Amino acid sequence: MSELIVRAEKLDAADELAALRAQFVLDDVVYLDGNSLGALPAAVPGRVEDVVRRQWGALRIRSWDESGWWTAPERIGDLIAPLVGAAAGQIVVGDSTSVNVFKALVAAVRMAGPGRDEIVVDATTFPTDGYIAESAARMTGCTLRPVTPAEVPGVLGERTAAVLLNHVDYRTGRLHDLPALTAAVHAAGAVVVWDLCHSAGALPVGLDEHGVDLAVGCTYKYLNGGPGSPAYLYVRSGLQDRFDSPLPGWNSHAEPFGMRPDYEAAPGALRGRVGTPDILSMLALEAALEVWDGVSIEAVRAKSLALTDFFLECVAAYLPLGRVESVTPAAHEERGSQVALRCDDAGDVMKRLIERGVVGDFRSPDVLRFGFTPLYVGFADVERAARVLGEVVA
């Protein structure tokens, strides 16, 4: 038995989060794609059946009150809040990440005020964020300025209205400096919007601590909410009365059942709601979030770093020198919860890995991505994944 296998066993035996794996529906596959779609929490199927058969099937319209459907967006938002370092009453769940990026970015420009006509966007962002930013710029009469996160402080000025940034780069796994970049945006008098899709549930975010203005994120990655589960929108409490949504739907009205022709925004984060909530997927998400009861995000981060460190060590041991190149930063303060490896024939390599029971994903043109969800990934998984990768590329 190799020294790395023995170490993996010892690390798993000492892992304080290891017992959480039993709360997920898993098989003998090494699943390292939780940064795209999290595994199914075991409590979800029973909860969904209850929602469908009893709440919808038996109670029908009564469930809006009796089953708490109407308050689900803010109730579930309060469950997400501690995972991103936010106090209650600042997060509302609903819509997709793309829709919430649009709401947040247009509202940010409106909050910035007259004379500020430039939106700065992460040039390396997930494509949708860039598309939304370009559309928001056209609609608000702003100029769009795409730059890398490292270049942001140098381009901020009196014209900057809003800055849209990703906390973790989806392709490389690089973790950007949220506290420093937020401070730089504020020093320029602008409003910052953070996309937390690849960080929420994997590492501490500290939205309140660092004075973030607005943030959005999905729930189907590290939060394990299921395919297409609703996203969320964070609006800092001090800005809520100024949050002017470009999508003022009846669900965000101060008197939603008044059916008045004039719009009056609801108080607080509720003004981030739009239309009727997607109840089935939303309540599946609520059940999925139960796995976080009593779990420290700091412990999750510590295990995430340990897993990715060990994976890089195993890759170095099992693969020929120069066969792959890590594009994920080695420094802990610059690393999310994934490792991206550049490989000439990455698409074919990933297909063969999946055939052998190691599931990651491929990003064009040459990147193998491996996501490490500390709630259910163990060190033996990591060692096996690297060993199979070595065999596949040999």
Q: What is the arithmetic mean of pLDDT over 187-210?
A: 98
SS3 233: strand
Q: What is the arithmetic mean of pLDDT over 282-289?
A: 98
Look at residue 125 in the predicted model and tell me its pLDDT.
85
Look at residue 74 in the predicted model and tell me its pLDDT.
98
Output helix, strand, coil percentages for the chain, rounded to the nearest 5.
45, 15, 40
**Other beta carbons within 10 Å of 309:** 15
Compute CA distances 355 → 26, 286, 352, 380, whole Å: 17, 33, 5, 19
Query: What gap in Å lies between CA 270 and CA 253, rounded to an integer?
Result: 8
Q: What percent of the chain has pLDDT over 70?
A: 100
pTM score, whole prediction: 0.97
Q: Find out whether 119 and 156 touch, Cβ atoms under 8 Å.
A: no
Three-point CA angle 278, 281, 285, nearest 5°? 125
For the chain, strand residue ranges (E) read 24-25, 30-31, 40-41, 91-93, 118-122, 143-147, 160-166, 191-195, 214-217, 232-235, 325-326, 338-342, 358-359, 361-363, 367-371
Report pLDDT digits (tens) over 43-52. Answer: 999 999 999 9
Rg (CA), the chain: 22
| Residue positions annotated with a catalytic role | 126, 195, 220-221, 369
Report pLDDT digits (tens) over 255-270. Answer: 999 999 999 999 999 9
Sign (positive/negative) of CA torsion 294, 298, 300, 302? negative
Q: Give the confidence band of 394 by pLDDT, cuts at 50, 70, 90.
A: confident
Query: What gap in Å lies between CA 186 and CA 162, rounded to an integer?
Result: 10
Compute CA distances 290 → 79, 161, 278, 285, whole Å: 9, 38, 19, 9
Q: How far is CA 163 from the centre of its chain?
A: 18
Report pLDDT digits (tens) over 90-125. Answer: 999 999 999 999 999 999 999 998 999 999 999 998
Report pLDDT digits (tens) over 56-84. Answer: 999 999 999 999 999 999 999 999 999 99
Sign (positive/negative) of CA torsion 104, 110, 113, 118? positive
DSSP notation for 47-116: HHHHIIIIIIIIIGGGHHHHT--TTHHHHHHHHHGGGGT--TTSEEE-S-HHHHHHHHHHHHHHHH-TT-
Q: Which two tokens stand for residue 305?
A: 């770093």
Report pLDDT digits (tens) over 143-190. Answer: 999 999 999 999 999 999 999 999 999 999 999 999 999 999 999 999
Look at residue 251 in the predicted model and tell me its pLDDT.
97
Query: Which amino acid appears at position 216 of this protein?
Result: V
- 213: closest CA among 127, 108, 119? 108
Look at residue 1 in the predicted model and tell me its pLDDT.
58
